[in-house]
């Protein structure tokens, strides 16, 4: 998504151990996870091919419905259960973002919420969904960017449902760019 805005991007997956959020503190917990991911990559910056100036961007996305937090499903059976539970009922997609400027070390964080309602899918439609998208790699087992047909309604940032709230991230990049990378 960042490249579509003309930004040069290098992806370095984080190996950070995430905390397991509770629905009570989801806004804080996802920012903590994004920060953990970003700091783990930041600590390895000498070992990876990256030259200043740059802004590190890390994110963590989770799905919440009531008191239930949906991470990535453990297997296909759980993915089917997740989609069935979410179908026809509103839920929230939360993404925490962490940005850090290479020169100044200045940091920014944010949490973004989008309200989503999925269509109620039958077994055949869930099979079609999982044939098109690896549900084990997505919070709650679905990816809006790969399967928009399963969404009944969205209120808020669509790119947040992709896993990166672009308006917020670009705003934070602009703030950090003016601080001097």
pLDDT of residue 45: 80
- DSSP for 53-99, written as a single string: S-EEEEEEEEEEETTEEE-S-SSHHHHHHHHHHHBTSEEEEEEEEEE
In the numeric block, the tokens 């629905």 are attached to 23
Pick out the chain residues at pLDDT < 70: 1-9, 21-24, 179-181
Structure tokens, 155? 């209120």
pLDDT in tens, 111-128: 999 999 999 999 999 999
Respond yes or no on whether the N-terminal peptide bond of residue 81 is cis (omega within 30° of 0): no
pLDDT, residue 4, reads 67
Bridge partners for 154 per DSSP: 116
Interhelix angle 76-86/123-132, rounded to 10 degrees, is: 120
- Distance, in Å, from the CA atom of 36 to the CA atom of 14, rounded to the nearest integer, reads 9
The CA distance from 55 to 115, in Å, is 29
| Residue 3 structure tokens | 């490249």
Q: How far apart are CA 39 and CA 47, in angstroms?
A: 14
Q: Which of 25, 29, 49, 60 is catalytic?
A: 60
Residues contacting 9, CB < 8 A, separation 6+: 2, 3
The whole-model pTM stands at 0.87
125-161 tens-digit pLDDT: 999 999 988 999 888 999 888 899 999 999 999 999 9
What pLDDT does 181 receive?
45
DSSP strand pairing (90-101 vs 55-65)? antiparallel
DSSP tag of 6: T
What spatial distance separates the first Cα and last Cα of the chain, rounded to whole Å?
21
Count of H-run helices and E-run strands, the chain = 5, 5
Residue ranges per domain, the chain? 24-179
CATH fold of the domain at 24-179: Maf protein (3.90.950)
The answer to whether the beta carbons of residues 82 and 133 sit under 8 Å apart is no
Active site residue 60: yes
Q: In the prediction, which pLDDT does 127 show?
A: 92
């Amino acid at each position: 998504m960042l490249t579509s805005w003309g930004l040069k991007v290098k992806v370095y997956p984080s190996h950070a151990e995430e905390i397991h959020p509770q629905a009570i503190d989801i806004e804080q917990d996802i920012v903590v996870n994004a920060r953990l991911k970003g700091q783990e990559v930041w600590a390895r910056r000498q070992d990876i091919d990256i030259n200043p100036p740059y802004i590190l961007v890390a994110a963590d996305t989770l799905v919440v419905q009531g008191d239930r937090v949906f991470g990535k499903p453990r297997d296909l059976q759980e993915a089917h259960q997740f989609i069935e539970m979410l179908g026809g009922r509103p839920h929230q997609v939360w993404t925490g973002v962490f940005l850090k400027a290479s020169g100044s070390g200045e940091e920014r964080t944010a949490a973004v919420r989008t309200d989503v309602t999925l269509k109620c899918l039958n077994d055949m439609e869930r099979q079609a969904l999982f044939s098109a998208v690896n549900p084990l790699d997505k919070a709650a087992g679905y990816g809006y960017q790969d399967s928009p047909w399963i969404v009944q309604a969205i209120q808020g940032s669509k790119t947040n449902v992709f896993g990166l709230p672009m308006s917020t991230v670009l705003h934070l990049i602009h703030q950090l760019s003016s601080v001097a990378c």
